[in-house]
Chains A and B, each alone.
Chain A
Amino acid sequence: QSALTQPASVSGSPGQSITISCTGTSNDVGGYNYVSWYRQHPGKAPKLMIYDVSNRPSGVSNRFSGSKSGNTASLTISGLQAEDEADYYCSSYTGSSPPYVFGTGTEVTVL
C-alpha cells in the first residue's frame, strides 16, 4: 500500500484560503469515507483537524473544511492565520493490509 500523494508545500497570505489535496486510489480514499486530516507543528504530536472526510472535532475552528471527490480528498483552510503554518497529513482507512495509510505530508507556509 503506497502513501497517499500530497503536494510538498502550499503557501498563502494571511486571510487567504488554501486547499491541500490528498490523492489515493479506489482501495483507500475512493473506497471509504474514512479520510482524516492532521496538523503537526514542529516537535509536536499530530492533531486531528478533520475526520470522516468533512467532520470537525469539537474545538477545531470552522475555518477548516474537508471534502472528497473520487480518489482525491481535500482540506481547505480559509482565513489563513499564522498559527496555521505547520505540516498537514491526510490519512485513509484501506480495508486491507495495512488498514491505515497516511499522506506524504504538506508544509503550509503563511507568507
Chain B
Amino acid sequence: QVQLVQSGAEAKTPGASVKVSCKASGYTFTSYNMHWVRQAPGQGLEWVGIINPSSGFTIYAQTFQGRLTMTRDTSTSTLYMELSSLRSEDTAMYYCVREEGFISAPTKIFQHWGQGTLLTVSS
C-alpha cells in the first residue's frame, strides 16, 4: 500500500533554513506527481508546491518564490522540501501528498498524505 513517511519535527530560529523529507513506498515513485501542503496552527490548508519526481520539474506558490526548493532522490524514493530565510509565519505542519493518476494524466486528486512534519520557527 502507498506509504509516505515524513521526517520528524523541526525547531528553527528566524533566518535559518530547514529541509524536510518524505520517503515514499508501495508504488513506482517516478510515476506520480507529488505536492507539499502546509497548515499553520489552528488555520486552514495552503498549497505549497508540486514536483514531478521523474523529471524534477517544480512549480511553487508565489508566496515562497526564492525561498523554497523541492527536490527528489529517485534512488531512495525520497522527496525533499527546503525552505530558507525562515520567518515565524512559516510555523506550520507540512504535509507531502501524492496526486492520483499517472504523471501523464494528472487527476488533481490528493488521496495519499504523509503524517506531517511540524516546523516551529521561533527566536
A-B interface contact total, Cβ < 8 Å: 53
* Size bracket of the B interface: 20 to 34
Q: Does B59 contact A (CB under 8 A)?
A: yes
A94-111 interface mask toward B, CB cutoff 8 Å, 1 = contact, 0 = none? 000111111111000000
* Docked pose: A108 CA to B73 CA in angstroms: 40
A19 CB, nearest partner CB in chain B, Å: 19
CB atoms of A102 and B44 under 8 A apart: yes
B44 touches A104 (CB 8 A): yes
Number of interface residues of A (CB under 8 A): 23
Q: Within 8 Å of chain B (Cβ to Cβ): is A57?
A: yes
Docked Cα-Cα span, A101 to B109, in Å, equals 13
B53 at the interface (CB under 8 A from A): no
Q: Which of A10-18, A45-53, A62-70, A71-79 contacts its partner?
A: A45-53
User: Shortest Cβ distance from B100 into chain A, in angstroms?
Assistant: 8
Which among B47, B50, B116 has the highest number of chain A CB atoms within 10 Å? Answer: B47
